[in-house]
Amino acid sequence: MIDYEKVIHGLVDPLVEHSDSIMIRELPGSTEKDVSILIAAEDDDTARLIGKKGIVANALREAIGIAGKADNSNVRIHLKFESFGEEGKEKENDAE
């Protein structure tokens, strides 16, 4: 099975200013063929990862979706984006 966290780090780290603060976690999916991945970053980095009208987020979804099909496992990958405010509290930004 592919290490999706590693693949996503390779895609998002060059796009953000604070790559050391990126948190990527695999969450339980609704079925064994579904994988949900949470990407949490600082406010400005989350905005970069989502992009205007979700263009960057959709491109990331498409790229990681190809990785889900690359090993013939036909896994559906769902990306969820969250940001951490300056005061340390979480703000949810789901760009689906």
Question: Is residue 31 domain-resident?
Answer: yes
Mean pLDDT in runs of 10 for the chain (96 residues)?
Answer: 85 93 88 89 94 95 86 83 67 50
Residue 80: CA count within 13 A, CB half-sphere: 12
Q: Residue 34: which domain range? A: 4-90
CATH number at residue 66: 3.30.300.20
Q: Would you state the torsion angle of the CA atoms of residues 45, 46, 50, 52, taken in this order, to the nearest 10 degrees?
A: -70
Q: How many domains does the chain divide into?
A: 1
User: What per-residue confidence (pLDDT) applies to 88?
Assistant: 46
pTM above 0.75, yes or no: yes
User: What per-residue confidence (pLDDT) applies to 29?
Assistant: 77
